[in-house]
A = this chain, B = another copy of it.
């Protein structure tokens, strides 16, 4: 059985923490959850500029928060993403004033004029598994592989903070990494009772770094299940797939995102292998992969990845990833 949750517009959240839960998710359940796109679904044509229809702070809505009964401060919340499917046959992207990697921003502030604000609509073809790019100023078109992901998944932050869904940190949030795709388990540190999970910002696909600040944004159906790892500290979000373990670094400048991710991965490897710190550093330095998430959000994102064949013991966190994979696979094969 798959539980479903489809929020109304009014039920969407724009912060992590600071709101009452919209529901309860229990370990052992499988849920299909609908999320709106980062523009609240308001940018529906190339003539609709985001700045005309979106008003700070009502950007990047997440669905939730969901209370996870078993989750208490000091635990890890494991969220397994079994499936992600665009909920519309179109996606949208844009340039956005003072946002993106190749423009000045409010932080990298310059005196130049802003880039033109321009919108692109993409036709999404789930059968062909492509997203169709159409240039605005020529008849150039290109079919790109569909590669659904969620840009924003997080829980309530530590220290009684309430954070905008635009930001990312130890609590997750707007990480904007293509690694957060179906088949992956995300590990987040629980800071408040019930964890308060929220998710949104679906991308039909995204380049590395989200260079223009905006991916192919779309509403999304996400199938997920959760579990709780008791009394286990976690410094920064982690990911696990069938083939790799990953640590997520979120910071500016970008080298600090790289450092956080790789430091965490080295420490994780020492735990999983018994190697001492320098031997684990050496292993990660030669076998490690790095994947750039975003270079546009308040905190940039780098993911440090180690292929599982590097690990003699692949029983990470008591095989919670495998358990959730199996659970959701059974539910999906049974259907709703």
Contact B286 A207 (CB under 8 A): yes
Nearest residue, chain B, Cβ from A287: B144
| With A57-B158, A107-B256, A112-B114 as contacts: A135 and B262 at CB distance below 8 Å | no
Contact A275 B107 (CB under 8 A): no
Contact A162 B161 (CB under 8 A): yes
Q: Does A283 contact B (CB under 8 A)?
A: yes
> When chains A and B are docked, how far (Å) is the Cα of A135 from the Cα of B270?
12
Q: How many copies does the complex hold?
A: 4
| With A253-B253, A258-B101 as contacts: A144 and B109 at CB distance below 8 Å | no
| With A254-B258, A279-B135, A282-B212 as contacts: A111 and B106 at CB distance below 8 Å | no
> When chains A and B are docked, how far (Å) is the Cα of A133 from the Cα of B278?
13
Interface residue count for A (Cβ, 8 Å)? 91
Q: Does A38 contact B (CB under 8 A)?
A: no
Q: In the complex, how many angstroms separate the beta carbon of A132 from the nearest chain B beta carbon?
A: 11
| With A209-B262, A212-B282 as contacts: A287 and B161 at CB distance below 8 Å | no
Contact A208 B289 (CB under 8 A): yes
Contact B278 A142 (CB under 8 A): no
Among A277-308, those with CB < 8 Å from B are 277-279, 281-292, 295, 300, 302
17 other contacts beyond A101-B262, A144-B286, A254-B255, with CB at 8 A cut-off? A14-B159, A14-B160, A18-B161, A57-B158, A93-B282, A103-B111, A108-B108, A111-B263, A115-B278, A116-B278, A135-B279, A135-B283, A138-B275, A140-B275, A140-B279, A142-B310, A208-B290
